[in-house]
Homo-oligomer: A and B are copies of this chain.
Amino acid sequence: MIEMAETIAVIGGTGNLGAAIARRLAKAGRTVIIGSRSQESAERAAAELGFGLSGRANANAARKADIIIIAVPFAAQAGTIADIAPHCAGKIVVDTTVPLVPPKVMRVQLPPEGSAAQRAQSQLGEDVTVVSAFHNVAAHKLATDEAIDCDVLVFGDDKAAREQVVELAGLMGLRAFHAGALCNSAAAEALTSILIFINKNYGPGEAGIRLTGILE
């Protein structure tokens, strides 16, 4: 269980997805630090979002946190992880990275490691427990108080850590499921390109997925 006293850092928390995650968790009463490359941007975003959020430079946010959520574009993933890695040992790092390669974001282009999540794990090393999630939720919907019609698939090799992220999603008002080992993250990461394609071809920009046929 996630203790109320635990601090959550959202690295890249000034971006669309990061800000939406930080806001929902802070609104749920959790202690959340927004991280950004510059402390000033982080502080500004935190002040704008309200709900008691604070802002720090990424490495500093990671250092203060018990749970670290990474919400940066694929192109920034490796650099960001290099920046925060010294402060991740022994912690759960939740990677949300989707390996989109512009301009062809409607084409699945998984990295050689198999998935962005596996790339993160390999960069962070065995002292860090990487879980991946939140690949398919539309950030502009998550930024509102509306109900989200999209399930969250949670991947990771450590079941207890996965359970914490399932809980985090629940705090954010999302329905989430254990979806297996970290390598399975490839499925949700790839699915985002499909959802972008579906949005372009079927509109109106809010495509998501729901699991069916399960006991609830």
Query: Residues of A at under 8 Å CB distance from B?
Result: 106-110, 114, 138, 149-150, 153, 177-181, 183-184, 186-188, 190-191, 193-194, 197-199, 201-215
Query: When A150-B212, A211-B208, A214-B207 are in contact, do A184 and B193 touch as well, CB less than 8 Å?
Result: yes
| Copies of the polypeptide in the assembly | 2
Q: List 28 A-B contacts (CB under 8 A).
A: A107-B180, A107-B181, A107-B183, A108-B114, A110-B114, A149-B213, A150-B212, A177-B198, A179-B194, A179-B198, A184-B190, A184-B193, A187-B190, A188-B194, A191-B191, A202-B214, A202-B215, A203-B215, A204-B214, A205-B213, A206-B212, A206-B214, A207-B213, A208-B211, A208-B212, A208-B213, A209-B211, A210-B210
* B190 x A138 contact (CB < 8 A): no
Chain B residues with Cβ below 8 Å from A202 are 177, 214-215
Which residue of B106, B153, B201 contacts A194 across the interface (Cβ within 8 Å)? Answer: B153
Give A149 to B109 CA distance when docked, in angstroms. Answer: 29
Please name the 7 residue pairs, one residue from A and one from B, whose CB atoms are nearest each other, closest first.
A206-B213, A187-B190, A180-B197, A149-B212, A202-B214, A208-B212, A187-B191
Q: With A180-B194, A187-B191, A206-B213 given, can you name 11 additional A-B contacts, CB distance below 8 Å?
A: A107-B184, A108-B187, A110-B114, A149-B213, A179-B197, A180-B197, A184-B197, A198-B211, A198-B214, A208-B211, A210-B212
Which residue of B108, B138, B206, B215 contacts A183 across the interface (Cβ within 8 Å)? Answer: B108
Chain B residues with Cβ below 8 Å from A110 are 110, 114, 186
Chain B residues with Cβ below 8 Å from A114 are 108, 110
* B198 x A207 contact (CB < 8 A): no
**Chain B: CB-nearest residue to A206:** B213
* B212 x A209 contact (CB < 8 A): yes
**Chain B: CB-nearest residue to A178:** B201
* Nearest chain B CB to A200 CB, angstrom units: 9
Query: When A180-B193, A191-B191, A194-B153 are in contact, do A108 and B186 touch as well, CB less than 8 Å?
Result: yes
**Chain B: CB-nearest residue to A115:** B108
Give A211 to B151 CA distance when docked, in angstroms. Answer: 10
